[in-house]
């Protein structure tokens, strides 16, 4: 059996998607203010490119068995970074906004699920290495550990869906409360409404991908080839996962553009003469201003309000 050409397989396309989104992420950082949120799509996309390239080397080439086993281990490590890394987008927002009991509860469950992900992926890594070293695993047949690998993947993708559901519960509740208490004529209220809508769409998409992969991978019968309908659906869901960092970049850039437009509108509609009573004694007003909520202060710093 001849070795298939790399760019004739879907792994090359998925790896190229990762490289492309990496370049887009770097470009996005250059035209906007760098932040931890902007780095997450880049790290995830780099891991996507490396993992899919290593997968081709491990399962589609005829190199020495130890080299293929090492490539399989590298692929699993970077798949873990790619798939678990998507959840850190919501995590970065929540650690700057939650406090007290809510913060402790969120962090406790979040890191418990992350440790579970690490344990399951480590078990998958070891099982695949043993499968390759056994010499019976090929693209057209399953090895002695394939059944175990399938069950581990079901738990792995289910845990990813649970992580996103857990983060979304706190994030959507936080943004909804911030939107509800914001003044109705405040530009910050529009920012919260925008974040709430994009968060709901983003989280729902990730949960759907995780649940879909948990269902379809349970029917995987070969090492890394999509030879069944379920395998092809799983490959499609993984392709959507590889493209998902684009959603994050669009969210980041669109929020900055939305903020710029809101600030411009605020300046253009500001007219002290229209409300003389409100602004007449603005220089002599000595009452202390109410304390800015923590989530409002963080959103303001992220979007550019009061950054100076």
| Domain extents in the chain | 6-265
Range of lowest pLDDT (24-38, 234-248, 266-280): 266-280
* pTM beyond 0.85: no
pLDDT at residue number 210: 82
- For the stretch 31-40, contacts whose Cβ atoms lie closer than 8 Å and that sit 24 or more positions apart, written own/partner, are 31/253, 32/252, 32/253, 32/256, 33/256, 33/304, 35/252, 35/302, 36/92, 37/89, 37/92, 37/93, 37/248, 37/252, 37/302, 38/249, 38/252, 40/85, 40/86, 40/88, 40/89, 40/92, 40/245, 40/248
CATH architecture of 6-265: Up-down Bundle (1.20)
**In this predicted model, which residue has the larger pLDDT, 247 or 293?**
247
In this model, does residue 224 exceed pLDDT 50?
yes
Q: What number is the average pLDDT over the span 224-230?
A: 77
- pLDDT-derived band of residue 305, with 50, 70 and 90 as boundaries? very low
């Amino acid at each position: 059996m001849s070795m298939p050409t790399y760019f004739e397989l879907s792994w090359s396309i998925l790896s190229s998607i990762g490289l492309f989104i990496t370049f887009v992420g770097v470009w996005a950082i250059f035209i906007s203010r760098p932040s931890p949120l902007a780095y997450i799509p880049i790290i995830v996309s780099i891991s996507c490119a490396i993992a899919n390239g290593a997968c081709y080397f491990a399962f589609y080439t005829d190199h020495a068995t130890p080299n293929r086993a090492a490539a399989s281990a590298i692929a699993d490590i970077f798949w873990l970074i790619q798939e678990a890394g998507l959840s850190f987008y919501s995590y970065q927002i929540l650690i700057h906004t939650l406090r007290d009991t809510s913060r402790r509860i969120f962090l406790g469950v979040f890191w418990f699920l992350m440790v579970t992900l690490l344990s399951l992926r480590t078990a998958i890594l070891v099982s695949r290495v043993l499968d390759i070293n056994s010499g019976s695993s090929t693209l057209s047949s399953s090895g002695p550990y394939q059944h175990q690998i399938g069950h581990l993947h079901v738990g792995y993708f289910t845990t990813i869906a649970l992580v996103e559901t857990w983060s979304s519960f706190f994030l959507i509740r936080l943004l909804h409360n911030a939107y509800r208490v914001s003044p109705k004529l405040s530009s910050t209220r529009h920012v919260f409404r925008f974040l709430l809508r994009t968060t709901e769409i983003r989280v729902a998409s990730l949960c759907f991908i995780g649940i879909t992969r948990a269902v379809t991978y349970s029917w995987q019968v070969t090492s890394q080839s999509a030879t069944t309908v379920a395998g092809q659906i799983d490959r499609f869901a993984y392709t959507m996962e590889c493209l998902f960092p684009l959603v994050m970049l669009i969210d980041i850039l669109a929020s900055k553009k939305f903020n710029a437009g809101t600030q411009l509108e605020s300046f253009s509609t500001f007219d002290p003469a229209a409300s003389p009573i409100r602004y007449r004694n603005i220089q002599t007003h000595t009452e202390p201003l109410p304390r800015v909520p923590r989530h409002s202060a963080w959103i303001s710093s992220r979007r550019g309000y009061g950054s100076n």
